[in-house]
């Protein structure tokens, strides 16, 4: 029996997403294992994979099958959602020529490779020519995609990471944050000054011991080491595929606390990936909904749960035992102060919950200006420092602590940064709904039992994949679209009560 147009599309997209999975594994290897001399050939490999994927999406037969499926083949339901996601991928791909796709992939790989050296040597000039070349190509791609999708160039980039996301909505949410966070910060600092300082446990902390503690807590959270692993890289991330998940972190011998929270953060990503609907593996509907939803899962685990009094009461003895620690610095109350300490700082990934959005808004403003041509790449360090002074009253001593600290722009992720704060807002809203639905969640967490929380997340978030839009998912799980009210309540309880 011949296959219907929709069934033929499923076969095509299964091949396409297998190639994307292979690309993800090459990126993981590039960040963790690849010798520096392999960068050029790796760039060629990634560009070839991009070209083949682009070819599958843009060949005339794909458009014909999409139209036939829309006209005759698919009614409402999961298949309609899958077809919607296929159309979305096709629309973005057909906006760009294969030559531009290949050029972007090669430029991205070269830029990321040089960034690693530039960051280590605090030498922005080293990576500048590569960033300028990539930014020129990106402006071409953003303009072409914007014209095809009838969006602004920035929204065309944002839509890749946050489907349906628009600048006007982000500006509204970020405007609300900027109206109340400065007051929260002042009050939190005042309240904090009335208590004892947070003591940092004294090292050194061997990387092997840090890894062992991270693995132990990952297992407690529900990470499946039959389908994943933990490694080291310059910048922590979670990659791979739902059946082969790769988490990385970086270790500091003088401070185990940051690496540990990075591991728990990335475990939140991993739990989401592992929980994506198995029935839709290899199809667009089985993919993660958006980076905002993805970040909500990592931040729900790290910020909402693992920096809470309940979890730290359980984890503090494990931390002390891992490093043979004893004394006031290892007590639960001190570790809670340490993990909820509020202080403006230069490094985004080390920022507290109240100041973190300022780091995101800073990057959001700068990347919009660079994309529009209002800020040239050569002027980025000075502009970064000026914005850091404006938002947080701090000036980086060097570019390694400034515009070179994040991998994202050098790795081609433009329009990505807003999803971090969208995810933080979403995490508070989802976790509040989970607590209302499962009253025993905190009691279980205090005993190291994450099953009730994970079960609720599996049902309401993970298993939905891209079968629902972000708005539909949030309304179904929480009863309302995204707003900042739950986030405000969370900050009030944790830092001002």
CATH of the domain at 198: 1.10.1370.30
266 carries an active-site annotation: yes
Please tell me whether residues 101 and 205 are part of one structural domain. Answer: no
Do residues 105 and 46 touch, judged by C-beta distance below 8 A? yes
Question: Is residue 164, in this structure, part of any structural domain at all?
Answer: no
Residue 355, strand partner residues: none
Average pLDDT of 421-447?
97
pLDDT for position 390: 94
Please tell me whether residues 74 and 198 are part of one structural domain. Answer: no
Do residues 346 and 391 touch, judged by C-beta distance below 8 A? no
Please tell me whether residues 275 and 367 are part of one structural domain. Answer: yes
Please tell me whether residues 371 and 410 are part of one structural domain. Answer: yes
pLDDT at residue 369 above 80? yes
pLDDT for position 74: 72
pLDDT at residue 264 above 80? yes
Question: What count of Cα atoms within 13 Å lies in the side-chain half-sphere of residue 496?
Answer: 14
Average pLDDT of 460-475?
97
> What pLDDT digit, counting tens, does each position of 388-413 carry?
999 999 999 999 999 999 999 999 99
State the catalytic residue, choosing from 85, 162, 266, 367.
Answer: 266
pLDDT for position 351: 94
Spatial distance between the Cα atoms of 296 and 288, rounded to a whole number of angstroms: 12
Question: Is residue 463, in this structure, part of any structural domain at all?
Answer: yes
DSSP 8-state code for residue 194:
T
Question: Is residue 108, in this structure, part of any structural domain at all?
Answer: yes
Query: Of 93, 117, 150, which marks where a domain is finished?
Result: 150
Question: Is residue 476, in this structure, part of any structural domain at all?
Answer: yes
Please tell me whether residues 183 and 44 are part of one structural domain. Answer: no
Please tell me whether residues 117 and 194 are part of one structural domain. Answer: no
Please tell me whether residues 143 and 206 are part of one structural domain. Answer: no
Question: Is residue 86, in this structure, part of any structural domain at all?
Answer: yes
pLDDT for position 77: 86
Do residues 243 and 227 touch, judged by C-beta distance below 8 A? yes
pLDDT at residue 73 above 80? no
Do residues 192 and 341 touch, judged by C-beta distance below 8 A? yes
Q: Which of 126, 119, 116, 104 is nearest to 39 (CA)?
A: 116
Do residues 403 and 388 touch, judged by C-beta distance below 8 A? no
Do residues 246 and 239 touch, judged by C-beta distance below 8 A? yes
Domain that holds residue 330: 169-496
Q: Which of 374, 415, 341 is nearest to 154 (CA)?
A: 415
**Structure-block tokens of residue 153:** 């160039």
Please tell me whether residues 422 and 464 are part of one structural domain. Answer: yes
pLDDT for position 263: 97
Query: Of 101, 122, 150, which marks where a domain is finished?
Result: 150
Spatial distance between the Cα atoms of 224 and 242, rounded to a whole number of angstroms: 11
Please tell me whether residues 252 and 389 are part of one structural domain. Answer: yes
pLDDT at residue 76 above 90? no
Helix, strand, coil distribution of the chain in percent, nearest 5:
70, 5, 25
- Nearest 10 degrees: Cα torsion 278, 283, 288, 289: -120
Question: Is residue 156, in this structure, part of any structural domain at all?
Answer: no
Query: Of 150, 184, 202, which marks where a domain is finished?
Result: 150
Residue 166, strand partner residues: none
Please tell me whether residues 245 and 393 are part of one structural domain. Answer: yes
Average pLDDT of 438-467?
97
Helix axes 39-58, 98-121, angle to 10 degrees: 150
Question: Is residue 161, in this structure, part of any structural domain at all?
Answer: no
pLDDT for position 415: 97
pLDDT at residue 277 above 90? yes
Question: Is residue 157, in this structure, part of any structural domain at all?
Answer: no
Please tell me whether residues 286 and 400 are part of one structural domain. Answer: yes
Spatial distance between the Cα atoms of 8 and 13, rounded to a whole number of angstroms: 9
Average per-residue pLDDT in the chain? 96
Average pLDDT of 48-59?
96
pLDDT for position 235: 83
Say how many domains are in the chain: 2
Residue 88: pLDDT band (50, 70, 90) is: very high
> What pLDDT digit, counting tens, does each position of 6-29 carry?
999 999 999 999 999 999 999 999
Spatial distance between the Cα atoms of 297 and 426, rounded to a whole number of angstroms: 9
pTM of the model: 0.94
**Structure-block tokens of residue 204:** 């050194």
Do residues 388 and 362 touch, judged by C-beta distance below 8 A? yes
Spatial distance between the Cα atoms of 341 and 187, rounded to a whole number of angstroms: 13
Residue 403 has phi, psi (to 5 degrees) of -75, -10
Do residues 248 and 230 touch, judged by C-beta distance below 8 A? yes
Please tell me whether residues 246 and 359 are part of one structural domain. Answer: yes
pLDDT for position 494: 95
Q: By CB neighbour count within 10 A (0-12 exposed, 13-18 middle, 19+ buried), where does 183 fall?
A: exposed
Residue 245, strand partner residues: 228, 240
Tell me the chain's radius of gyration from C-alpha atoms.
23
3-state secondary structure of 173: helix
């Amino acid at each position: 029996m011949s296959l219907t147009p929709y069934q033929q599309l499923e076969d095509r997209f299964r091949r396409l997403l297998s190639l994307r999975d292979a690309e993800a594994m090459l990126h993981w290897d590039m960040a963790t294992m690849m010798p520096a001399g392999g960068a050029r050939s790796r760039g060629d490999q990634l560009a070839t994979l991009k070209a083949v994927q682009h070819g599958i999406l843009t060949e005339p037969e794909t458009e014909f099958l999409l139209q036939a499926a829309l006209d005759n083949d698919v009614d409402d339901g999961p298949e309609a959602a899958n077809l919607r996601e296929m159309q979305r991928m096709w629309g973005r791909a057909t906006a760009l020529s294969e030559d531009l796709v290949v050029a972007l992939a090669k430029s991205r790989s070269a830029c990321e490779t040089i960034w690693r050296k530039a960051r280590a040597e605090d030498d922005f000039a080293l990576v500048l020519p590569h960033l300028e070349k990539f930014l020129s190509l990106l402006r071409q791609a953003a303009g072409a995609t914007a014209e095809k999708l009838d969006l602004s160039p920035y929204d065309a980039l944002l839509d890749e990471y946050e489907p349906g996301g628009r600048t006007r909505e982000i500006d509204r949410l970020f405007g609300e944050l900027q109206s109340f966070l400065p007051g929260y910060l002042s009050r939190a600092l005042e309240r904090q000054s009335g208590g004892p300082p947070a003591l940092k446990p004294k090292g050194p902390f061997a990387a092997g011991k840090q890894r062992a503690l991270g693995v132990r807590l990952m297992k407690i959270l529900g990470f499946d080491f039959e389908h994943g692993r933990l490694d080291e890289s310059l910048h922590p991330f979670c990659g791979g595929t739902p059946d082969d998940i790769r988490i990385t972190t970086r270790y500091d011998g003088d401070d185990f606390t940051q690496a540990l929270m990075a591991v728990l953060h990335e475990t939140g990503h991993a739990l989401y990936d592992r929980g994506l609907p198995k029935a839709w593996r290899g199809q667009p509907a089985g993919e993660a909904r958006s980076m905002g939803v993805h970040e909500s899962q990592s931040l729900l685990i790290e910020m909402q749960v693992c920096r809470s009094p309940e979890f730290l009461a359980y984890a503090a003895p494990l931390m002390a035992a891992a490093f043979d620690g004893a004394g006031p610095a290892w007590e639960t109350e001190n570790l809670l102060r340490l993990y909820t300490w509020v202080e403006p700082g230069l490094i985004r990934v080390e920022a507290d919950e109240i100041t973190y959005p300022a780091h995101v808004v800073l990057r959001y403003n700068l990347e919009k200006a660079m994309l529009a041509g209002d800020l040239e790449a050569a002027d980025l360090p000075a502009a970064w420092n000026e914005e850091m002074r404006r938002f947080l009253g701090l000036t980086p001593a060097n570019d390694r602590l400034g515009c070179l600290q994040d991998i994202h722009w050098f790795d081609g992720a433009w329009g990505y940064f807003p999803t971090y704060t969208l995810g933080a807002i979403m995490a508070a809203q989802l976790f509040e709904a989970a607590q209302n639905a499962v009253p025993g969640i905190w009691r279980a967490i205090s005993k190291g039992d994450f099953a009730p929380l994970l079960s609720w997340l599996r049902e309401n978030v993970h298993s939905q994949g891209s079968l629902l839009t972000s708005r539909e998912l949030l309304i179904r799980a929480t009863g309302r679209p995204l707003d900042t009210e739950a986030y405000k309540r969370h900050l009030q309880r944790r830092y001002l009560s």
